[in-house]
Structure 1
Amino acid sequence: MDKSDNKTIEGLLKHVSVRSFTDEQLDDETVKQLVTAAQSASTTSFQQSYSIIDVVDENIREKVTQAARNQRFMNQGGRLFVFCADLSRNNEMAKKLNLDVSQTIEGVDATLAGTIDATLAAQNMVIAAESMGLGVCFIGGVRDNIQVVSDLLNIPEHVFPVYGLVIGHPKGKLNDIKPRLPFEAVYHQNKYDAKIDVVESYDKQTNNYYNKRYGRQTDRSWAKTAVNSLIKLPRSFMKKYLNSHHLSEH
């Protein structure tokens, strides 16, 4: 097989976040295909510790949008899916088997496992959606007001929203593909090597990308964008929220 002509890899390398959608909706068959593709992802010990909430009620979708920093494209066409780490289902099944898994369910590793399962499923859905010519955008903002979102979506104990995912038909010209960190910056052999000089060179490259994207000179770069997000979005309330849902207590 000619590795240079791999349609799957070609599609992955063309990924961009889309924040402008037409009013066209996704039909139920497309949604079923997307969810089925998501379910085909690997899961932790076959626990399948995740759930996907398709927010189709216009009133609820608007309120979730407002809670997630009011990013208006979230409430345009297409669908808004909220991916949740879901440890509740397995907890209930354990009870039926007369087993107590509460200590595990309430531990950090189970919380990580649920988050990982939700993430793998979401990425599968993204790959499937983009193969259909649809646009996608992850929404970490659902965690900004995570309790509000949880109340709106009737999320029970042992379940929490990880992020939203908007999928729809792109509107207008897509942004150019953002340059990723160089291969050498993320690939390590045998031991970790920070390679700060490579990262600093890449930061200048991303500044050129943003200058071209905005059509003017800017001071934006990868480092400033990444670090500013850490400063602006500490979400220090997450531990309290998770503990209140009987997660990550140990």
Structure 2
Amino acid sequence: MNTVIETLLDHRSIRKFTEKPLTNEQIEMIVKSAQMASTSSFIQAYTIIGVKDRVKKQKLAELAGNQPYVENNGHFFVFCADLHRHKVAGHMEDTDVTASIESTEKFLVAAVDAALAAQNASIAAESMGLGICYIGGLRNNIEEVGRLLNLPDYVIPVFGLAVGEPADRSSVKPRLPLSNVYHEDQYEQNEKAFNRGLEEYNGVISAYYDLRTAGKRKDRWTEQMANMLKEPKRLHMKEYLEKKGLMKH
């Protein structure tokens, strides 16, 4: 095992940071690391917005569901799927690229590119001894977030990333069994084995929550997922994406 793998296996979400801001050097290194992530066909279809303005961070925390760690951290990054610069590139080359960048395929490419860049950024930050927390809650009020950040058409905020010096390190949360995640040659559909793995994982997660909350919480993973998914959320996303010029076909 090397130090990179040790960093990966030691990941946990940090939701309480000290007030120490990241240095410009740290921010630059995190962004440069993000830029070295793999990108489909060299398209680099993402933009990273660093938010330092205190008022804006407070507003983003509110829009994300009143999550205090969106406001209180060393630095807050917003990762955007961005096909705006590709529209500009088309204009520069006197080529109409509209049909392509408005396709579902290119939105998927942009969203994946943003996620890959963010994961590189996260690993870079954690390798520096910093903590991170992804913030999907920005999509709760995505149109207001877009206005706050002055995002043009073909650019949407996919998620935020809070980074900073951890004030409290939670324990590592156990992941699904390898047998439920990794299949060889085909999707394994042995339901008994599949369910058995999930039942074992339910016990692991229930014990994790029991220990972490001193007995106040013992929910199982399948119970947690069923409760979260029984009602669809953020149904405004499709309309917003189309309004921004994305996923039209």
With the length of structure 2 as denominator, give the TM-score of the two structures.
Answer: 0.95
Per-residue deviation, residues 64-105 of structure 1 (Å, max 9, x unmatched): 110000101111130110000000001110111111111111
Q: Which residue of 2 aligns with 1:181?
A: 176
State the shift of 1:233 in Å. 5.8
State the shift of 1:191 in Å. 1.2
The answer to whether structure 1 residue 202 and structure 2 residue 201 are counterparts is yes
CA RMSD of the aligned region, Å?
1.2
State the shift of 1:163 in Å. 0.2
Q: Which residue of 2 aligns with 1:156?
A: 152
SS of alignment partner, residue 144 of structure 1:
helix
Query: Of 2, 5, 12, which aligns to 1:9?
Result: 5
SS of alignment partner, residue 151 of structure 2:
coil
Unpaired runs of 5+ residues, structure 2, are: none
The answer to whether structure 1 residue 139 and structure 2 residue 129 are counterparts is no
Q: How does 1:18-167 map to 2 (within 5 A)?
A: 18-167=14-163
Letter in 2 for 1:45: S
SS of alignment partner, residue 77 of structure 1:
coil
Q: Which residue of 2 aligns with 1:221?
A: 220
Structure 2 vs 1, CA of residues 217 and 24 (structure 1 numbering), >3 Å: closer, same or farther? closer
Structure 2 vs 1, CA of residues 122 and 233 (structure 1 numbering), >3 Å: closer, same or farther? farther
SS of alignment partner, residue 155 of structure 1:
coil
Q: Distance in 1 between matches of 2:94 and 2:217?
A: 61
With the length of structure 1 as denominator, give the TM-score of the two structures.
Answer: 0.95
Per-residue deviation, residues 43-73 of structure 1 (Å, max 9, x unmatched): 0100000000001111111111100001011
The answer to whether structure 1 residue 247 and structure 2 residue 243 are counterparts is no
Structure 2 vs 1, CA of residues 21 and 233 (structure 1 numbering), >3 Å: closer, same or farther? farther
Q: Identity, % of aligned pairs?
A: 42
State the shift of 1:232 in Å. 5.6
Unpaired runs of 5+ residues, structure 1, are: none
Structure 2 vs 1, CA of residues 232 and 139 (structure 1 numbering), >3 Å: closer, same or farther? farther
Q: Distance in 1 between matches of 2:131 and 2:71?
A: 14
Q: Distance in 2 between matches of 1:139 and 1:6?
A: 29
Q: Distance in 2 between matches of 1:229 and 1:54?
A: 30
Q: Distance in 1 between matches of 2:121 and 2:229?
A: 27
Q: Distance in 1 between matches of 2:219 and 2:207?
A: 9
Q: Distance in 1 between matches of 2:227 and 2:121?
A: 29
Q: Which residue of 2 aligns with 1:238?
A: 237
State the shift of 1:193 in Å. 1.7
